[in-house]
């Protein structure tokens, strides 16, 4: 049975149409199923794709993110690995250089740090240092964010670490539609891609056309038009932004919600155009504020749209403390809809 929170997120997802290339299809599917469909389609289309990871074989993954794929493709193309992130990513880089298109599933995004040397020192630089002779068509798939109060080792959202690195692409889909479309793009990309899903979104549902489509990197979605304030949000925070926007609309405050969909590349023109229209900018991010995605967007607006701003930029982020096992404490640390509503109101008051 879906929780109240999951029902609310599903409702906002299914109502989000602006800025998407959705067809007239009314087919609805789960976020987790969207990833399975994308991988199944691309593995059928391209025999060079193989998939390795922890528990992604017969068991179908910790989050059912590979359910049914092993039955079709077997051990030759879908194989379980030990818990060894450094080895997995190193193997993936080598296979990509040799002509394959590997997917490496690290399951929990927290443990990508075990392999960060391979990603930052090797995968991101090989195309450059080989003078374009070699490419690394590698997809790193992992799930971020805290659900069910999983504490400091299984709750991180530090995707912005990797948008700092030239040569890496970073996708953070918020909807079923974007999971399928962005993952297809990732699997056809010649560069290394970090494809980061949110654990709290896996069971949510939204529009999921059966027909072929892709979502290009670097093209954001305008989730809701508005005139008074621009609210930039990524991943799970998109649904919280939309809930907050609905509440504020009843108070006469019109909020424009923009979802970048990828943070590397990051489309700046849409953000700047929106800020120019509304005159106010709020950035909502589950990650910490310091040196993160929210800091980058704030710097962008300060450098290129300062004269357009009628109020200070506001960042709504996780508070700077380790993720907690205590439900009440963890809820306090992570941005909530109520907090978004309060801080947007404060921005409007100047």
> What integer pLDDT is reported at residue 285 of this predicted model?
97
Model confidence at 15, in pLDDT bands (50, 70, 90)? very low
pLDDT at residue 12 is higher than 80 = no
Using a cut of 0.85, tell me whether the model's pTM lies above it. Answer: yes
Q: Residue 195: CB partners within 8 Å, gap ≥ 6? A: 139, 140, 141, 142, 171, 173, 182, 183, 186
323 included as an active-site residue: no
pLDDT at residue 3 is higher than 50 = no
Q: Which of 127, 154, 156, 323 is catalytic?
A: 154
> What integer pLDDT is reported at residue 323 of this predicted model?
87
Model confidence at 4, in pLDDT bands (50, 70, 90)? very low
Chain mean pLDDT for the chain: 92
> What integer pLDDT is reported at residue 16 of this predicted model?
39
> What would the pLDDT profile of 217-250 be if each residue is shown by its tens digit?
999 999 999 999 999 999 999 999 999 999 999 9
Q: Residue 7: CB partners within 8 Å, gap ≥ 6? A: none
Other C-beta atoms closer than 10 Å to the C-beta of 292 total 25
Distance CA 134, CA 93 (A): 11
Q: Residue 40: CB partners within 8 Å, gap ≥ 6? A: 68, 69, 72
Q: Reduced to 3 states, what is the DSSP secondary structure of residue 65?
A: coil
pLDDT at residue 145 is higher than 90 = yes
> Average pLDDT, stretch 252-273?
97
Among 59, 331, 285, smallest CA distance to 163 is for 285
Distance CA 27, CA 87 (A): 39
Which residues are registered as beta bridge partners of 221? 259
Domains of the chain: 4-207 (3.40.50.970), 221-349 (3.40.50.920)
Model confidence at 26, in pLDDT bands (50, 70, 90)? confident
């Amino acid at each position: 049975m879906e929780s109240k929170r999951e029902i609310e997120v599903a409702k906002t997802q299914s109502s989000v149409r602006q800025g998407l290339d959705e067809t007239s299809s009314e087919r609805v599917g789960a976020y987790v199923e969207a990833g399975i469909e994308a991988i199944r389609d691309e593995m059928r289309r391209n025999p060079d794709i193989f998939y390795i990871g922890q528990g992604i074989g017969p068991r179908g993954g910790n989050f059912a993110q590979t359910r049914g794929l092993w039955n079709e493709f077997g051990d030759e193309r879908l194989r379980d690995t030990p818990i060894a992130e450094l080895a997995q990513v190193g193997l993936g880089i080598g296979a990509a250089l040799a002509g394959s298109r590997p997917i490496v599933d690290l399951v929990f995004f927290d443990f990508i740090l075990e392999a960060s040397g391979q990603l930052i020192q090797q995968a991101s630089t090989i195309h450059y240092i080989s003078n374009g002779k070699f490419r690394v068509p590698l997809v790193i798939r992992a799930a971020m964010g805290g659900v069910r109060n999983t504490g400091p080792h299984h709750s991180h959202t530090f995707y912005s670490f990797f948008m700092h690195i030239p040569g890496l692409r970073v996708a953070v889909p918020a909807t079923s539609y974007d999971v399928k479309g962005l993952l297809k793009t990732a699997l056809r990309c010649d560069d290394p891609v970090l494809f980061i899903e949110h654990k709290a979104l896996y069971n949510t549902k939204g529009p999921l056309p059966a027909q072929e489509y892709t979502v290009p990197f670097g093209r954001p979605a305008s989730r809701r038009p508005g005139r008074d304030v621009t609210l930039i949000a990524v991943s799970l925070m998109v649904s919280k932004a939309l809930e907050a926007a609905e509440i504020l609309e009843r108070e006469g405050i019109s909020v424009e919600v923009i979802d970048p969909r990828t943070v590397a590349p990051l489309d700046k023109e849409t953000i700047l155009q929106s800020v120019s229209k509304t005159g106010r900018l709020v950035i909502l991010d589950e990650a910490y504020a310091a040196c993160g995605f929210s800091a980058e967007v704030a710097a962008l607006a300060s450098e290129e749209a300062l004269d357009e701003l009628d109020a200070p930029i506001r960042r709504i982020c996780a508070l700077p403390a380790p993720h907690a096992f205590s439900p009440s404490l963890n809820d306090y640390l992570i941005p909530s809809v109520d907090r978004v509503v309060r801080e947007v109101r404060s921005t409007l008051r100047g």
